[in-house]
Structure 1
Amino acid sequence: MNLTKSNNMVSICIPTYNGEAFLQEALNSVLAQTYKNIEVIISDDASTDNTLEIAKSFKGFVDFPVTIISHKPNGIGANWNNCIKNANGSFIKFLFQDDILYPDCISEMIATFEENSELGLVSCKRDLIIEGEVNSNVMEWIDKFKNLQNQFETIDNVTIIDKNFFSEEYFLIGNNNKIGEPTVVMFRKEIVKDVGYFDEKLKQNLDYVFYYRLLKKHQIAIIKKPLAAFRIHENQATNINRKKNITDYKEYKKILYKEFLPLLHPSQKKKLVNTYSIKAKIKHQLLFIIKRICRKY
């Protein structure tokens, strides 16, 4: 059922890399959307499996625009941004190759945008699809990340947050990502003009750094019901990056210090200042020098 009044085009952006295992299921969920004014942008990071064949077959089957771009590998952020740069819609809806959208996902998100012109991004809850063995690592992940938006639990169907959220003490407690994975969000394409693209220097946390830069200037809505499903398996990018020790959480704290400090809770400000200010750096250097001198005697 189409729940919306408007008929703005939505660009469903699917960045891919060796995604043959679950891509068809993701594309089937696009086909099942009740909101029909859509296009699909598939940006492929030099896959070596059948990803492009699956994408081309899908393009030949559907009656809405599908753009397929294959390029040299440039990394996660560049691939995400390439989707946006090739999108023609008023709204950007990411869908990762392993995940699925429920049929009313886009309709309900567009309807939420229609109710509030101040919104820059809409997010939602998501279900989990667990592939393979449920071992201790999987259980640990589920316990930690199963409900990223738990601090927004209210009786309302939709929760609206703005930049005042940064002043809450719990903003920097628990999971850093309090909005959700890209598969569960949709944002207005025009906000990229004043927020910028995803930060291509980052590998792990480029999604929520983008969300928080957006939240400084625009409101975010979180829909209480799950409208998508996020798949957990050994070969997803987050697990691969973790195994390779590719983390940029320290860089995230530096970004908070440089860009968000005036907005933060006093206790969080103090922690960041004590770590990243020029005074703190000089203090750390002096302590290091003193320790080296003491070791000689």
Structure 2
Amino acid sequence: MHNSPLVSICIPTYNGQQFIAEAISSALAQTYKNLEIIVSDDASKDDTLSIIKNYTSKTQTPIHIFNHKPNGIGANWNNCLLKANGKYIKFLFQDDVLSPTCVEEMVEVLETNPHIGLVTSKRDFIVDKAHASKEVETWIETCGNLQRTLDLKVENNISIIDKSLLKSAEFLNPPRNKVGEPSIVMFRKDLVDKIGLFDENLKQILDCEYWYRILKYKDIAVIHKNLASFRLHANQATNVNNQNAITDYHAYNKILYSQYLKLLHPEVQKRLLRKYNLFYKVYYWVVDKFKAK
């Protein structure tokens, strides 16, 4: 690719020694070469950093390691964004793996389509044997194809999601994240100036909330090809969050009301207005009481 723009592969880490070597190796094995690797580490207590440092003398790809004071996963993700120099941001979590052509194929889409703000892809799953269960199988059936409920046109192996998704009756139906985990997306760094950083108050859905924030301004492209592998294991953040009674979905309704209301399906608008708008609370209370007579 001519005039290849710099891509920042951002790896937020914390006690990731079990899988970090595989993640770093997949980043360095990219067919696309104008890369930097940004590591933001939340005070790991294991060998995560020493494993990463071993790669610095084995590659010409810059690996920048930043020590970050722990303040939640969103703060660590945001530190990556703040330290990144690339035109494009490619997250890679410490337990996930990129396919060799992932960055190259995503950059191609973004460089040739200025209306696209973010590109995602399909993904494979790596399921740890100790974590295999009927529940995991069911999750893969439900979330294996994140766009399964959307009627997307496929052209040249790519589909486009525009902000009409927000108006769709399918928007809040499972799977809630219809774009993908951070390891399978790439987006334009300059969008950060427009939409801000990840919401650090969220723990579980801060990624899809961010993707939908992008969708308010730019379209999203879906490459119908598995370009990354998402690992499922007992210690990943999603499972830890599920055990800790995360309240993101209550906060998400308030975010939708305050930032997305006019873009949503009329029935969703009505539900949110009844919940959060005093005028509409009273109005619908009167209407419901009248109907009950």
TM-score normalised per structure 1: 0.91
Q: Aligned letter for 1:218?
A: K
The answer to which of 163-172 and 87-96 deviates more is 163-172
Matches within 5 A, 1:218-233: 218-233=218-233
The aligned residue for residue 288 of structure 1 is none
C-alpha spacing 1:58/1:252, structure 2 compared with 1 (3 Å): same
Choose from 9, 12, 16 the match for 2:13.
Answer: 16
The aligned residue for residue 292 of structure 1 is none
**CA deviation vs aligned residue, 1:218-274 (integer Å, no higher than 9, x gap):** 111111111000000000001001011123111111111111111111122112222
**CA deviation vs aligned residue, 1:119-177 (integer Å, no higher than 9, x gap):** 11111111111012321332232222211122255432111122222111111122211
Q: Distance in 1 between matches of 2:96 and 2:260?
A: 32
Task: Tell me how many residue pairs correspond in the alignment.
Answer: 283
The aligned residue for residue 38 of structure 2 is 41
Choose from 84, 89, 101 the match for 1:87.
Answer: 84
The aligned residue for residue 289 of structure 1 is none
Unaligned runs of 5+ in 1: 286-297
Choose from 58, 69, 73 the match for 1:61.
Answer: 58
The aligned residue for residue 155 of structure 1 is 154
Asked whether the 8 Å contact 1:167–1:263 carries over to 2, the reply is: yes
Asked whether the 8 Å contact 1:18–1:50 carries over to 2, the reply is: yes
Q: Aligned letter for 1:225?
A: K
Q: Distance in 2 between matches of 1:168 and 1:32?
A: 39
Q: Distance in 2 between matches of 1:57 and 1:152?
A: 46
Matches within 5 A, 1:1-297: 4-133=1-130, 134-150=132-148, 151=150, 153-156=152-155, 157-279=157-279
Report sequence identity in percent.
Answer: 51
Unaligned runs of 5+ in 2: 286-293
**CA deviation vs aligned residue, 1:96-128 (integer Å, no higher than 9, x gap):** 000000000000001101221111111111111
Q: Distance in 2 between matches of 1:266 and 1:199?
A: 26
Instruction: Specify the SS of the correspondent of 2:170.
Output: helix
Q: Aligned letter for 2:255?
A: I
Instruction: Specify the SS of the correspondent of 1:7.
Output: coil
Q: Distance in 2 between matches of 1:217 and 1:154?
A: 21
Asked whether the 8 Å contact 2:153–2:160 carries over to 1, the reply is: no
Q: CA deviation at 1:281?
A: 5.8
Q: Distance in 2 between matches of 1:167 and 1:41?
A: 36
The answer to which of 93-102 and 157-166 deviates more is 157-166
Alignment RMSD: 1.8
The answer to which of 13-22 and 133-142 deviates more is 133-142
Q: Distance in 1 between matches of 2:187 and 2:79?
A: 16
Asked whether the 8 Å contact 2:68–2:79 carries over to 1, the reply is: no
Q: CA deviation at 1:62?
A: 1.1
**CA deviation vs aligned residue, 1:70-120 (integer Å, no higher than 9, x gap):** 122111000001011111111100000000000000000011012211111
